[in-house]
Amino acid sequence: MIVEQSDYSSLRNGILNGTPSVLNLVSDYLKRIKEYADLNAYITVFDEWAQEQAVEVDQKIRGNKDLPLAGMILSIKDNICIRNSRVTCGSKMLGEFSSLYDATVIERLRDAGAVIIGKTNMDEFAMGSSSENSHFGAVLNPRNTDYVPGGSSGGSAVAVAADLAIAALGSDTGGSIRQPAAYTGVYGFKPTYGRVSRYGLVAFASSFDQIGPFARSVYDTALLLKTISGYDLSDSTSVNLPVPDYTGNLTRDIANIRIGLPEEYFTQDLQENIRVVIDKKIQHLRENGAQIEKISLPHTEYNIATYYILTTAEASSNLARYDGARYAYRADNVADLKDMYTRSRSEGFGEEVKRRIMLGTYVLSSGYYEAYYRKAQKARRLVKEDFDKAFSRVDCIITPTSPTTAFRLGEKIEDPLRMYLSDIYTTSANLAGIPGFSIPAETDQNGLPIGMQLLGKQFDEQTLLNVAYALENN
């Protein structure tokens, strides 16, 4: 299933010379998307519009317009808005609802010459770790179709892994870019909170959500990150800091970089072959001059509980807007207003979303607010302080992305707590607002990829890209 894959950087010269034309490239991708429809990676494919975009970009190329992403064929997670096209969030609730405007990231990508080919399948409202919680059916892992691709941005990860797009965007609230990147063997970057505008991203947990790229190389990741990053007046949480030249500054020279290995992330629960592969990578970094030291992030054990209290609280508030009145789905034959709200929400949302709305409402209720929500906010602060301390000693932290490789379809869907634990190494970056990068390490004996996670200081995406660059193809 997996074909010989090129990244954008190696296709770019050809594209700029018209071989292939962007239009031909789009046609090839549209064909492949149909051929591999069983993977269920896409919810919407823009057959016509993608070709229109391609014609436009081909014209601009002929006019010698400088387009850093000319002809980069992209797929976009279906919780990111594109004007006049439906945005489902993998939910029945949004039905045919179509967006009135482009997300800021979409504007930036299109201005740079990228072509958007479709919207990808995902866990409903980005809640999940396997891409099985979708109204549009489960996504399959192209490395082995008995296994999940991870979630919630599973469709985007699969699009990149199976070459159904050159690169993609996903969103990451607690690991939804990094974990599926690890399970499918591609690169997935969650930027620092505030680095990339969330304008036009449907909110799950607003103080955790970030948009980020999936790609097949470090260079492509850096290129995409550079394009989508930066201050945006429309998002008050976006940060007004200059965006470094991530591609221009890429270097494999990591001599003197200090790397920390947190003992809490390398415990009994970690699958043995993942530990072995990460050890090898660390050895490589050491041989190239990096200083490796053991560190401690003592509040790690509270990550999952803190994450699930705070994100469900935020989600219960964010999802209150889907009431049957404002967006697509409304139950039939309702008796009165209250019946309309109740039945529209009961029928429009799936199980996992309802579970989280109930949990979130509970932790915010007046009797439990102090005991859960307030306490979790304090725990979030402690997790952040652990990282502040660690980053006074090291420049980059290395961990596994997930405690296991991809699991089988259906294996965890009945057991939400077990499902939640697959995010045990990724939620901390969102709690602390720091950048996290999952990079493909090796493939195990079953053909399942192993991912390794790099964590960095706030707004220091560059160090993570450079460490990844030093490890690429090694």
Is 173 a binding residue for ligand GLN by CB under 6 A? The answer is yes
Q: Is 152 a catalytic residue?
A: yes
Applying CB under 6 A, among 172, 220, 314, 461 the residue interacting with ligand GLN is 172
Residue 178 CA: distances (Å) to CA of 190, 215, 299: 7, 11, 21
The span of 171-179, 221-229, 364-372, 380-388 binding ligand GLN (CB under 6 A) equals: 171-179
CA–CA gap between residue 469 and residue 464 (Å, rounded): 8
Contact residues for 392 (Cβ-Cβ < 8 A; gap 6+): none
> CA quadruple 328, 334, 338, 343: dihedral positive or negative?
negative
Cα 361 to chain centroid distance, Å, stands at 26
Applying CB under 6 A, among 71, 113, 128, 191 the residue interacting with ligand GLN is 128
Q: Is 238 a catalytic residue?
A: no
At closest approach, how far in Å is the CB of 366 from ligand GLN?
A: 25
Applying CB under 6 A, among 9, 88, 99, 152 the residue interacting with ligand GLN is 152
Site string for ligand GLN, 312-341 (x = CB under 6 A): ------------------------------
Of the residues 9, 21, 152, 422, only one is catalytic, namely 152
Of the residues 77, 281, 412, 457, only one is catalytic, namely 77
Q: Which is nearer to ligand GLN, 153 or 466 (CB)?
A: 153
At closest approach, how far in Å is the CB of 189 from ligand GLN?
A: 13
Residue by residue, DSSP assigns 121-190 as --SGGG--SSS---TT-PPPPTT-TTB---SSSHHHHHHHHTTSSSEEEEEESSSTTHHHHHHHT-EEEE
CA proximity to 156, closest of 101, 105, 207: 105
For residue 265, report the phi and psi dihedrals to the nearest 5 degrees: -100, 0
Is 168 a binding residue for ligand GLN by CB under 6 A? The answer is no
Q: Which is nearer to ligand GLN, 58 or 123 (CB)?
A: 123
Q: Which is nearer to ligand GLN, 33 or 424 (CB)?
A: 424
3-state secondary structure at position 236:
coil
Contact 212, 191 (CB under 8 A): yes
Is 149 a binding residue for ligand GLN by CB under 6 A? The answer is no
Of the residues 156, 176, 197, 402, only one is catalytic, namely 176
Site string for ligand GLN, 85-114 (x = CB under 6 A): ------------------------------
For residue 302, report the phi and psi dihedrals to the nearest 5 degrees: -90, -5
The span of 168-176, 193-201, 242-250, 370-378 binding ligand GLN (CB under 6 A) equals: 168-176
Q: Which is nearer to ligand GLN, 40 or 130 (CB)?
A: 130
CA–CA gap between residue 57 and residue 70 (Å, rounded): 7
Residue 411 CA: distances (Å) to CA of 68, 205, 261, 463: 42, 26, 30, 36
Q: Which is nearer to ligand GLN, 265 or 307 (CB)?
A: 307
CA–CA gap between residue 120 and residue 131 (Å, rounded): 11
Contact 182, 426 (CB under 8 A): no
Applying CB under 6 A, among 23, 33, 69, 127 the residue interacting with ligand GLN is 127
Residues 197-216 that bind ligand GLN (CB under 6 A): 204
Q: Is 171 a catalytic residue?
A: no
Is 126 a binding residue for ligand GLN by CB under 6 A? The answer is yes
Catalogue the active-site residues.
77, 152, 176
> Which residues are at the interface with ligand GLN (CB under 6 A)?
126-129, 152, 172-176, 204, 311, 423
